Amino acid sequence: MSSRSVVSTLFVAALIAASGAPRAAHAQKGEAVLGYVNLQRAILEVEEGKRAAKALKVTFDEKQKKLTEKEQGLVKMKEALEREAKPNDPETSKKVVEFQGKLAELRQVFVTEQTALQEAEQKQLSGIRGRLREIIDEIGKQGGYTMILEVQDSRLLYAKPHLDLTNEVIRKYNIKYK
């Protein structure tokens, strides 16, 4: 049995054990107390995450505008080349090489900018993610949870809504990290 199926089996068994009674009653009986958090949703909904997304969008839009301007310049250059092209003309060949160089340069700028945006996003999100984990740890300890799982990519097929701690995590995060 793979480790994933062992974890899934344990998770389902624990959910069944925890689904009927309040957390405190389960904790007193020594039974598993479970919860889950949708971290992606939490990141998008905490105030800091909203601010980060807004700042990243502004940066993206600025860079996109510059890239679009360069792209439009290349489109005009290509159209002029197509209109004025003369077969076997050294001047036309020179312009084609210049166009190809500028096109390759634009592609490289695009890749560089995309990488820079992804790195900036990861940097901002990793800080938020770390602070969310601290909040989740606090909730886990204070609530007597045995386990708090992360919901990711719709892997949680079913769980009772009262086990979802995402709103509580968002609320506590926004209080602690204004």
User: How far is residue 58's CA from residue 40's CA, in Å, rounded to a whole number?
Assistant: 21
> Torsion-angle region of residue 35: left (phi > 0), alpha (psi -120 to 50) or beta?
beta
CB atoms under 10 Å from CB of 148, counted, come to 19
**pLDDT on residue 69:** 92
Give residue limits of the domains in the chain: 3-176
**pLDDT on residue 2:** 52
**pLDDT on residue 150:** 92
**pLDDT on residue 99:** 87
**pLDDT on residue 115:** 93
The pTM is what? 0.68
**Element (H or E) spanning 157, and its range?**
none
Residue ranges for the chain with pLDDT beneath 50: 1, 5-7, 9-22
What contacts 148, CB < 8 A, 6 or more positions away?
Answer: 34, 35, 36, 37, 136, 139, 140, 165
**pLDDT on residue 10:** 47
What are the pLDDT digits (tens) for 9-20? 444 444 444 444
Instruction: Provide the 3-class DSSP secondary structure of residue 84.
Output: helix
Nearest Cα residue to 110 out of 75, 71, 76, 73: 71
**pLDDT on residue 13:** 43
